[in-house]
Chains A and B, each alone.
Chain A
């Protein structure tokens, strides 16, 4: 493991940029285990872990891949992430994976699950149907859905873990979530010591490594960053919203930061944080997991909410002492873009300033965004 903070960030960036999934192959060699790709946003990583499988977060190819074959499958009005994912699949980048999970977040990822079945018939492609009935009916359905999937995972890994093992996995992920929350909390307190671009890389690296390793990494980063000597700047504190699936290029995140914004809350890696708080580790583990999804999920564009849309966002802005919201959604992202007007209505009602722009994971131009985010930060500072 890296010694200094800078080394650690470099290592994280190396892992994130490695589209060949080198860490995954190494893990498989070392442990003899299997690995399963998890498309955004959320997957039951606890169950994969319990079954002896490494959950690997697949969030597209970012700006590191040239799209040729992927474009042959998608029209120009469809977002970027399925193209780069197919490109990686056809290029063999995803060959370390023994299965793929496609959660029910939008029509594009949903249909991609079927495309995967057709294009890669040898790799199991599982659709994860997350209930939109947020009550006991949903808990019941989701418990069955997760049990079904868990059976599939065990079939792939050849292991047969009992309820206690799942509970132990849940506990490890509880720790992971708690560390990530600690990181966000620290960032809110001293954003100059915990830049979003660093925290982002750290969490993203966790998509490709063993969770215990990740927990160690997070712990030591938090300690190193807390001890580091950084100077506070009078930046605007903002919440970034809408980037939970296709990820903004790293340089875009850095651009927002450099143009004078402290990102004190964001949904970049929402999957790792979707469930708030601890998941119970006693009793029926799978039912607990299902219940946690139903009862402890954060407000998100792909989760049905009948009323008070944006309520959680407004609360979050207040809790983080944020001064504004940056709506930053991928082009053609249905959930984020359909959600946005409702979010905007809520923050407008609460007199919270906001700005909005769109990106693609392979955007190479940041000039406009730099100016827009910069102006936004300036205007906040001017009027606050």
Chain B
């Protein structure tokens, strides 16, 4: 039996929100509620709420399965069906889960999709994923293709392309599936609510600029992004959550307390680290402990920007609802080109006064991983801060070698320490 997890009170709030959501999903078929399967990066939560469609996020289900030690079996089931061992394990975990009764993270059955909303931002695998799901489910599918920010900025053409797809394809399909007429004023209201939550969310994430940082912006950050990246953006529950969270974080900051880890409050902040790459979900706590045991705090991370980059000013804009949805999709982290990602990480290293930056290179996710070694080199050169590199996977426990990762992390932290001592000896 593992040790009890130490929690913040906002965690309970979040847990309740999630429980209610999955409860609604479990009884949706009896209640006649419709649901939409869709993805986190570039999700159109406000639009779905407009039509009272309940979002189901397959990658969240996959990572939850991993945290509950179910992913190995699910992946094996999918590989047995002919899915390659080389490809994304989120996909295989999700397919395996569907083949095993489609039981969600809270133990209740997930409904079949009323519609597959493929808003595909920053990752080609999403497209293939829903093509595969479409073979499984007899339901409408609608795609929103979001162009890549190849030259580092969104263009008017890109925006127009997305808005037209929303107007001419996505919205009509959602209207048909839900039986409800599109109400742009309702969308505006939802987006105004999103923007309020986003303001507080940014304040929470930027609290890590203080020393000591009151939050962990990677492992802890995963919990902070959850409502805003998933089913709750645009809802009053999300607003309440982020108000409570911000109050909690401000309180910790005022008392000069470090982040709360599952093992208890973090003692001394020895290393401030920026992290690039998604977390590993099968050994989430173990990896976090490898950081916190060494006194390492993740002050910023790119993973907490996959469902939207808010810290450079973007907010959902009720005055230009569709255009702002387009900008939101275009701006998600993995839709940014490599030079932009390098700039962003360098900026985080500087603004968050980091001692180093670490890359968790994840086998499943080429969108993140291809090119990370160049990012490593560039950020090192630009910031003069040492970079570190370790490898794991999203939800495949076979790719987590605890001894290997621990070895690298310890070596890395000791290297920072040694450099520090050398500088102070001068």
Contact residues of A with B, CB < 8 Å? 72-75, 77-78, 82, 104-108, 110-115, 117-119, 126-127, 129, 131-133, 135, 137-138, 140-141, 144-145, 148, 301-302, 304-307, 309, 331-335, 337-342, 344-345, 358
Chain A residue at smallest Cβ distance from B128: A338
Which residues in window 389-407 of B have CB below 8 A to A? 391
- As a 0/1 sequence over residues 122 to 153 of chain B, the CB contacts with chain A under 8 angstroms (1 = contact) are 01110111011011000001010101101100
- As a 0/1 sequence over residues 155 to 169 of chain B, the CB contacts with chain A under 8 angstroms (1 = contact) are 001001100110011
Contact partners of A117 in chain B: CB under 8 A: 337-339
Q: Which of B87, B141, B169 contacts A337 (CB 8 A)?
A: B87
Is B374 among interface residues, defined by CB-CB distance under 8 A?
Answer: yes
Contact partners of B124 in chain A: CB under 8 A: 105-107, 110, 302, 334-335
- How many angstroms between the C-alpha atoms of A144 and B157 in the bound complex? 7
Q: Which of B82, B127, B129, B378 contacts A118 (CB 8 A)?
A: B378
- A112 to B: closest C-beta gap in Å: 7
When the two chains form their complex, are residues B128 and A74 in contact, meaning their CB atoms are under 8 A apart?
no
- How many angstroms between the C-alpha atoms of A107 and B41 in the bound complex? 15
Q: Which of B123, B141, B145 contacts A107 (CB 8 A)?
A: B123
The total of chain B residues at the interface (CB under 8 A) is: 51
Contact partners of A108 in chain B: CB under 8 A: 366, 370
- B318 to A: closest C-beta gap in Å: 25
- A3 to B: closest C-beta gap in Å: 45
| Given A73-B374, A131-B161, A141-B157: A341 and B342 interface contact (C-beta under 8 Å) | no
- As a 0/1 sequence over residues 75 to 93 of chain B, the CB contacts with chain A under 8 angstroms (1 = contact) are 0000001111011100100
The total number of A-B Cβ pairs within 8 Å is 153
16 A-B contacts, Cβ less than 8 Å apart? A73-B374, A107-B366, A111-B367, A115-B374, A118-B378, A127-B150, A132-B145, A137-B168, A304-B131, A306-B134, A309-B135, A331-B86, A334-B128, A338-B87, A339-B128, A341-B132
- B56 to A: closest C-beta gap in Å: 19
When the two chains form their complex, are residues A114 and B164 in contact, meaning their CB atoms are under 8 A apart?
no
- How many angstroms between the C-alpha atoms of A110 and B125 in the bound complex? 13
Chain B residue at smallest Cβ distance from A121: B339
| Given A127-B148, A132-B143: A337 and B370 interface contact (C-beta under 8 Å) | no
Contact partners of A148 in chain B: CB under 8 A: 157
Which residues in window 102-126 of B have CB below 8 A to A? 120, 123-125
When the two chains form their complex, are residues A118 and B125 in contact, meaning their CB atoms are under 8 A apart?
no
- As a 0/1 sequence over residues 336 to 372 of chain B, the CB contacts with chain A under 8 angstroms (1 = contact) are 0111111000000000000000000101001101111
When the two chains form their complex, are residues B374 and A307 in contact, meaning their CB atoms are under 8 A apart?
no
Contact residues of B with A, CB < 8 Å? 81-84, 86-88, 91, 120, 123-125, 127-129, 131-132, 134-135, 141, 143, 145, 147-148, 150-151, 157, 160-161, 164-165, 168-169, 337-342, 361, 363, 366-367, 369-374, 378, 391
- How many angstroms between the C-alpha atoms of A335 and B366 in the bound complex? 12
Contact partners of B123 in chain A: CB under 8 A: 107
When the two chains form their complex, are residues B371 and A73 in contact, meaning their CB atoms are under 8 A apart?
yes
When the two chains form their complex, are residues A78 and B143 in contact, meaning their CB atoms are under 8 A apart?
no
Chain B residue at smallest Cβ distance from A330: B86
- How many angstroms between the C-alpha atoms of A233 and B403 in the bound complex? 57
Q: Which of A119, A131, A301 contacts B374 (CB 8 A)?
A: A119
When the two chains form their complex, are residues B370 and A78 in contact, meaning their CB atoms are under 8 A apart?
yes
Q: Which of A82, A131, A338, A342 contacts B370 (CB 8 A)?
A: A82
When the two chains form their complex, are residues A340 and B82 in contact, meaning their CB atoms are under 8 A apart?
yes
- B369 to A: closest C-beta gap in Å: 6
- A138 to B: closest C-beta gap in Å: 8
Chain A residue at smallest Cβ distance from B366: A107
Closest 6 CB pairs of A and B: A114-B338, A127-B150, A338-B128, A337-B84, A132-B145, A114-B337
- How many angstroms between the C-alpha atoms of A335 and B141 in the bound complex? 20
When the two chains form their complex, are residues B127 and A132 in contact, meaning their CB atoms are under 8 A apart?
yes
Contact partners of A131 in chain B: CB under 8 A: 145, 161
When the two chains form their complex, are residues A77 and B337 in contact, meaning their CB atoms are under 8 A apart?
no
Contact partners of A105 in chain B: CB under 8 A: 124
When the two chains form their complex, are residues B143 and A304 in contact, meaning their CB atoms are under 8 A apart?
yes
- B239 to A: closest C-beta gap in Å: 34
Contact partners of B366 in chain A: CB under 8 A: 78, 106-108, 111, 334
* Candidate in A105, A126, A331, A337 with the most chain B CB atoms within 10 angstroms: A337
Contact partners of A110 in chain B: CB under 8 A: 124, 148, 150, 367
When the two chains form their complex, are residues B132 and A342 in contact, meaning their CB atoms are under 8 A apart?
yes
When the two chains form their complex, are residues B86 and A337 in contact, meaning their CB atoms are under 8 A apart?
yes
Contact partners of A307 in chain B: CB under 8 A: 134
- How many angstroms between the C-alpha atoms of A108 and B123 in the bound complex? 10
- B7 to A: closest C-beta gap in Å: 35
When the two chains form their complex, are residues A129 and B150 in contact, meaning their CB atoms are under 8 A apart?
yes
Chain B residue at smallest Cβ distance from A126: B150
- How many angstroms between the C-alpha atoms of A78 and B164 in the bound complex? 35
Contact partners of A304 in chain B: CB under 8 A: 127, 131, 143, 145
Contact partners of A118 in chain B: CB under 8 A: 338-339, 342, 374, 378
Chain B residue at smallest Cβ distance from A336: B84
Contact partners of B120 in chain A: CB under 8 A: 132
- How many angstroms between the C-alpha atoms of A358 and B127 in the bound complex? 22
- How many angstroms between the C-alpha atoms of A108 and B88 in the bound complex? 13
When the two chains form their complex, are residues B82 and A344 in contact, meaning their CB atoms are under 8 A apart?
yes
- B339 to A: closest C-beta gap in Å: 6
- B74 to A: closest C-beta gap in Å: 15
Chain B residue at smallest Cβ distance from A345: B135
When the two chains form their complex, are residues A78 and B157 in contact, meaning their CB atoms are under 8 A apart?
no
- A45 to B: closest C-beta gap in Å: 20
When the two chains form their complex, are residues A77 and B371 in contact, meaning their CB atoms are under 8 A apart?
no
Contact partners of B143 in chain A: CB under 8 A: 132-133, 304, 306
- B14 to A: closest C-beta gap in Å: 31
Chain A residue at smallest Cβ distance from B83: A341
Contact partners of B150 in chain A: CB under 8 A: 110, 113-114, 126-127, 129
When the two chains form their complex, are residues B391 and A75 in contact, meaning their CB atoms are under 8 A apart?
yes
When the two chains form their complex, are residues B88 and A334 in contact, meaning their CB atoms are under 8 A apart?
yes
* Candidate in B88, B125, B131 with the most chain A CB atoms within 10 angstroms: B131
When the two chains form their complex, are residues B87 and A133 in contact, meaning their CB atoms are under 8 A apart?
no
When the two chains form their complex, are residues B128 and A335 in contact, meaning their CB atoms are under 8 A apart?
yes
Contact partners of B371 in chain A: CB under 8 A: 73, 111-112, 114-115
- B177 to A: closest C-beta gap in Å: 15
When the two chains form their complex, are residues B87 and A74 in contact, meaning their CB atoms are under 8 A apart?
no
| Given A114-B371, A131-B145, A133-B145: A141 and B161 interface contact (C-beta under 8 Å) | yes
- Contacts A77-B86, A132-B120, A137-B168 given; 9 further ones with Cβ under 8 A? A77-B363, A112-B370, A117-B339, A127-B148, A145-B157, A304-B143, A332-B86, A334-B88, A338-B129
Contact partners of A302 in chain B: CB under 8 A: 124
Contact partners of A73 in chain B: CB under 8 A: 371, 373-374
When the two chains form their complex, are residues A74 and B82 in contact, meaning their CB atoms are under 8 A apart?
no
- How many angstroms between the C-alpha atoms of A123 and B145 in the bound complex? 28
- How many angstroms between the C-alpha atoms of A338 and B364 in the bound complex? 12
